[in-house]
Chains A and B, each alone.
Chain A
Amino acid sequence: MKKILFALGLAAVMAVPAYAQAREVTFSTQLSNYGGDGAYLALYLTDADGQYQETLWISGEKSKYYKHLRDWARGSGLNQAEYDGLTGASVSSGRTLNVTLELDDALIDSGYQVRVDTAVEDMRDNRSDVVAPLTTEGSGKSVAGRGYVQSFVYNLK
Chain B
Amino acid sequence: MLRKLHGWPGLVAALLLLVLATTGVILSVVPAIERAGATIPATGQISVADLAERVVAHYPGTEQIERSLSGEVVVYYSRDRQPGADLVNPLTGEGIAPYQPSAFLRWVKNLHRSFLLDDAGRMLAGGLAVMMLLLCLSGMFLLARRMGGWKAILKPIAGSGSSRIHAELARFAVIGLLLSALTGSYMSAVRFGLLPEAAAAEPSFPAEVSGGTPAPVSSLLALKNVDANELRELVFPYPNDPSDVYSLSTTQGSGFVDQATGELLQYQPRSTGNQFQHWMIRLHTGEGLWWLGLILGMAALTVPALSFTGIQVWWQRRSTSVRLGEGASIEVADVVILVGSEGNTTWGFARDLQNKLNQAGKKVHCAPMNDLAKRYPQASVLFVLTSTYGDGDAPSSASQFMTRLEHFQANDGLEFVVLGFGDQQFPKFCQYALDVDAALSSKGLQQVNLVTRIDRGSAIQFREWGEAIGEHMGISLALTHNPAPAATAEFELVERVDYGVAVNAPTSILRFRPVQDRRNLWQVLSFRSRSNLPSFEAGDLFGVAPPGDNTARLYSLASSASDGQLEICVRKQTNGLCSGYLHSLEPGDRISGFIQQNPGFRPAGGATPIILIGAGAGIGPLAGFIRKNTDRNPMYLYWGGRNPQSDFLYQPELGCYLDDHRLTGLNTAFSRSAEKAYVQDAIIADESALRQLIEKGAQVLVCGGRDMASGVSQVFDSILKPLHMDVDELRAEGRYLEDVY
Q: Is B85 an interface residue (CB 8 A)?
A: yes
Mark out the residues of chain B between 247 and 275 whose CB falls within 8 Å of any chain A CB in the assembled complex: 247
A-to-B contact residues, CB < 8 Å:
35-37, 50, 64, 67, 70, 74, 77-78, 122-127, 146-147
Does the CB pair A74–B83 fall under 8 Å?
Answer: no
Q: Which chain A positions have C-beta within 8 A of B200?
A: 64
Which B residues are within 8 Å of any A CB, using their own CB? 63-64, 76, 78, 81-83, 85, 101, 103, 106, 110, 197, 200, 202, 204-205, 235, 238, 241, 247
Q: A64-B200, A67-B202 are in contact. Are A124 and B85 (CB under 8 A)?
A: yes
Query: Known: A35-B103, A37-B110, A64-B200. Is A124-B64 also a contact (CB below 8 A)?
Result: yes
Q: How far is A145 from B674 in the complex, measured between Cα atoms in Å?
A: 112
A125 touches B110 (CB 8 A): no
A146 to B200, CA, bound (A): 29
User: Interface SS of chain B: helix, strand, loop or mixed?
Assistant: mixed
Within 8 Å by CB of A64, from B197, B205, B247, lies B197
Determine how close the nearest CB of chain A comes to the CB of B318; give it in whole angstroms. Answer: 42
A124 to B65: give the CA distance in the assembly, Å.
10
Q: Which of B83, B103, B238 contacts A146 (CB 8 A)?
A: B83
Q: Is the interface of A mostly helix, strand, loop or mixed?
A: loop
Scoring A78, A124, A126, A146 by chain B CB atoms within 10 A of each residue's CB, the highest score goes to A124
**B101 adjacent to A122 (CB under 8 Å):** yes
A124 touches B205 (CB 8 A): no
Closest 10 CB pairs of A and B: A124-B76, A74-B205, A122-B101, A124-B85, A35-B103, A147-B83, A67-B202, A146-B83, A146-B81, A64-B200
Residues on B with C-beta less than 8 A from A124 are 63-64, 76, 83, 85
- A147's nearest neighbour on chain B, judged by CB, is B83
Are A146 and B101 closer than 8 Å at their CB atoms?
no
Say yes or no: A78-B202 contact (C-beta < 8 A), given A36-B101, A70-B235, A146-B81. Answer: yes
**Contact between B202 and A146 (Cβ–Cβ < 8 Å)?**
no
Bound-state Cα–Cα, A92 to B423, Å: 60
**Given contacts A36-B106, A37-B106, A146-B83, could you give 14 more A-B pairs where the C-beta distance is less than 8 Å?**
A35-B103, A36-B101, A37-B110, A64-B197, A64-B200, A70-B235, A74-B205, A124-B64, A124-B76, A125-B64, A125-B235, A127-B63, A146-B81, A146-B82
B272–chain A nearest beta-carbon distance, Å: 18
- Return B46 CB to nearest CB of chain A, in Å: 23
Kindly provide the distance from the CB of A41 to the nearest chain B CB, expressed in whole angstroms: 16
24 A-B contact pairs sorted by A residue (CB < 8 Å):
A36-B101, A37-B106, A37-B110, A64-B197, A64-B200, A67-B202, A70-B235, A70-B247, A77-B204, A77-B205, A122-B101, A122-B106, A123-B85, A123-B101, A124-B63, A124-B76, A124-B83, A124-B85, A126-B83, A127-B63, A127-B238, A146-B82, A146-B83, A147-B83
User: Can you name the residue of chain A whose Cβ is closest to the Cβ of B238?
Assistant: A127
B721 to chain A: closest CB distance in Å? Answer: 79
C-alpha gap A145/B202 in the complex (Å) = 28
Within the complex, the shortest CB–CB distance from B294 to chain A, in Å, comes to 22
Provide the residues of chain B in CB contact with A122, threshold 8 Å: 101, 106
Among B82, B106, B110, B235, chain A packs the most CB atoms within 10 A around the CB of B106
Q: How many Å lie between the Cα of A108 and that of B322 in the bound state? A: 81
CB-nearest residue of chain A relative to B119?
A: A61
Taken together as a complex, chains A and B put the C-alpha atoms of A147 and B76 apart, in Å, by: 12
Nearest-Cβ distance from residue B280 to partner chain A, whole angstroms: 15
A78 CA to B238 CA, complexed, in Å: 19
Closest beta carbon of chain A to B615's beta carbon, Å: 76
Instruction: Give the residue name and chain of the B residue nearest to A61 (CB).
Output: B119
A148, closest chain B residue (CB): B83
Contacts of A37 in B (CB 8 A): 106, 110
A74 to B204, CA, bound (A): 8
Q: Please name all residues of chain B whose beta carbon is closer than 8 Å to the beta carbon of A50 when the two chains form the complex.
A: 241
Residue of B nearest to A121 (CB): B106
Cα of A64 to Cα of B278 in the assembled complex, Å? 14
Shortest CB-to-CB span from B34 to chain A, Å, is 13
Q: How far does the Cβ of A121 sit from chain B's closest Cβ, in whole Å?
A: 9
Shortest distance from the beta carbon of A61 to any chain B beta carbon, whole Å = 9
CB distance from A128 to the nearest CB of B (A): 9
Contact partners of A67 in chain B: CB under 8 A: 202
Tell me, rounded to whole Å, the shortest Cβ–Cβ distance linking B30 to chain A. Answer: 12
Closest to A76 in B: B205
CB distance from B184 to the nearest CB of A (A): 18
Report the nearest B residue to A78, measured CB to CB. B202
Interfacial chain B residues near A146, Cβ < 8 Å: 78, 81-83
| Identity of the chain B residue whose Cβ is nearest the Cβ of A51 in the assembled complex | B243
A150 to chain B, nearest CB (A): 13
Measured between C-beta atoms, what is the minimum distance from B197 to chain A in Å?
Answer: 7
**A contact residues around B85 at 8 Å (CB):** 123-124
